[in-house]
Amino acid sequence: MQKRVLWITTTAVFIALLIGAQAATASMSQFVTGSLVNLILITSVMISGPASGLTVAFLSPVLAKLVGIGPPVWILIPFIMAGNMTLVIIWYLIGKRRVADRYLMRIVALVTAAVCKFLVLYLGIVKLAVPLLANLPPKMATAVTASFSWPQLVTALIGGAVAYVILPVIEMAVTKNK
């Protein structure tokens, strides 16, 4: 029971951090907001486990849309979920491996997860959703396409790099308080 309450609490904290970060940086560059989102996604999975990370990854675009800071149309939400969940799964599978050089594995996780998230979003949104499903006005289609192309790779790399630096400190604090 106590473990379940801890999971619910930490997952809720990560969701609140994510929505708060998105709201606070909505007027800033995509590079600031996107990097913070990726940092929080990675931190949630690495600190609280795959169920928490996947929950945050799944709920974040829906909640962002509901509070007015998400994508312009609902049809993009499943693709964003898929990109977020890809990032989280890969970080967990590679970054949590118990090997001699854990830091090297996290660098591999950082790069692999960023590239995979970028590919999921690029193929899903730029190549499928915008041209075939979204029925957006040309100007909006161009803006969405630009937003979900190479900047997604950059923000995933930045968020991953910051996570790489701060995760050891957070992990040390979490294990010290257990």
Give pLDDT tens digits for 31-60. 999 999 999 999 999 999 999 999 999 999
Apex 173 CA angle, 167 and 174, nearest 5: 85
Note the pLDDT of residue 8: 92
Q: Please state, in angstroms and rounded to a whole number, the distance separating the CA atoms of residues 60 and 80.
A: 9
∠ Cα 122 48 38 (to 5°): 25
- Tens of pLDDT, residue by residue over 132-172, are 988 899 999 999 999 999 999 999 999 999 999 999 999 88
pLDDT at res. 87 = 98
pLDDT at 27: 87
Flag whether pLDDT at 177 surpasses 80. no
Residue range 8-36, pLDDT digits in tens: 999 999 999 998 998 899 888 899 999 99
- Specify the residue for token string 């075939």: 132
| Cβ proximity of 63 and 19 under 8 Å | yes
All structural domains of the chain, each given as residue ranges with its CATH number in brackets, are 2-176 (1.10.1760.20)
pTM value is: 0.93
What's residue 128's pLDDT?
A: 95
Rg, the chain, Cα only: 16
Which pLDDT band, with edges at 50, 70 and 90, does 178 fall under?
Answer: low
Q: What are the tens digits of pLDDT across the range 63-121? A: 889 888 888 899 999 999 999 999 999 999 999 887 778 889 999 999 999 999 999 99
